[in-house]
Amino acid sequence: MALTGIDTSSYQATLNVAGAQLDFVIVKATEGVGYVNPYCNSHVSQALGSGKLLGLYHFARNRRNTATAEADFFVKNIRGYIGRALLVLDWEDGVADVAWARAFLDRVYATTGVRPLIYMSASPASTYAWEAVSKDYGLWIAGYPNNRPNNLATPACPYKPGHGWTVVMWQYTSTGRIAGYAGNLDMNVFYGDRNAWAAYANASKLFKTKGWVASLAALAAILGVSAGTLAGLNPSTLQDQPIAPGTVITAPPEANEDNDTRDEVEPYSPPAQPSQGTGPTGQGSSNGGAYVVKAGDTLSAIAARYGTTVAVLAAANGISNPNRIYPGQVLRVDGQASSSSSTSTGSTVTVVRGDSLSKIGQRVGVSWQTLASLNGIRAPYVIYPGQVLKTTRSGAAGTSAAGSYYTIRAGDTLSGIASRFGTRVQQLQRWNGITDVNRIYAGRTIRVR
């Protein structure tokens, strides 16, 4: 069995993905360490909404940046879709740098649990020594013999690149056409069925803790996986902090709950009728006096856009340092202080049908990432009607078997927290793995004693 599909970027901005008669679409998400496709969310939403299979790709600029930096940028911007999308490294820059490609693919796998494909033309795929890559990752190969056929089809791939490659997909033309769109399109054939696609896309597993687990490293030992990989898949879980019962953890596909002789963890399946969170960050938006910060925004630019001042925005949003805003942060732009009481009771909100973390975040004035962290929600960020979510966390220090903890609030500094709890900044850094004293964020819980 084979599937037919296309890949898109900002060049296909006007394409009606939902109306196209195809099995899958692979959307450009990011490039390098600073570019996010402004049409990614639109095409992704259309694909998912119309039942099409989804892929997301990153265009490497490996002559300029490190593999880790680019992989982390890609994952940060597509984290809301992990588990629902096949992931791809687009390899067209320094094509001879096999080690860079391997490092990128390994980093994405370590932080998502998904093994990406690598896309390249037939020439580099057959020229360089790819054996170290092909043993773990599949190939999406590109080659256009006379650009035929130029419609959606399932031709057999004529390329035999060797070097251990498994050809998962072939891009056979760059001048394809579909009804309703006047421009050229890349046409692709995927050699497998929908289950095979899902196997590439949804490689991670979910587990829920049944009892207290001493640390993330202890949980990694229970599941028989690398502690580093588990930490990468669960970035909001502190590695040295005890994990409470009922916490949902994302694990790589090789995780095995049978190692759990003390019955501390169990497989977890999301409830029925889920409502998903948002996808790639990088597109700012506003709704009813709220603005979601995108990458590259500054407070002064946002102030100018909405006819206000930096001072007014800072006061309305409790911002102590106007130079420190972050993608995904929700700002009030109408001069009124943000409120966490909209459609909520006290410090909680009850999910209704059609809700997502981003919609709730805009209503209550916090980012969807903060909501996910407060409620222990991991990728693929599933919520469901009737679920009660916390929207705030007490700022007081709490205690556990491993020490005392404090949840950072807007305006906090590491030196101020150290002074409050009678310790030193350096000690806080060591306890919590903080490398930059100026980079702490509201909603994170840190050890203070």
Phi, psi values for residue 276, rounded to 5°: -90, 160
Q: Show the beta-strand stretches assigned E in 211-287.
A: 248-251, 265-267, 275-276, 285-286
Contacts of residues 134-137 at CB distance under 8 Å and 24 or more positions apart, as own/partner, are: 134/163, 134/164, 134/165, 134/166, 135/164, 136/105, 136/109, 137/105
- Contact assessment for residue 154 and residue 189, using Cβ atoms and an 8 Å cutoff: yes
Element containing residue 360 per DSSP (H, E) = helix 357-364
Rounded Cα distance between 6 and 176, Å, is: 9
Angstrom distance (rounded) from CA 79 to CA 277: 10
The CA distances from residue 52 to 5, 43, 400, in Å, are 9, 11, 46
Rounded CA-CA distance 86/228 in Å is 23
Which residues lie closer than 8 Å to 135 by C-beta, 6 or more apart? 164
Please indicate whether residue 23 is annotated as part of the active site. Answer: no
Closest Cα partner for 420 from 443, 449, 442? 449
Catalytic residue among 23, 31, 92, 436: 92
Sign of CA pseudo-dihedral 78, 340, 365, 232:
negative
Give the C-alpha distances (Å, rounded to integers) separating 396 from 110, 141, 404, 417, 420. Answer: 34, 55, 10, 11, 11
Q: Is 31 a catalytic residue?
A: no
Residues annotated as catalytic (active site), given as ranges: 7, 92
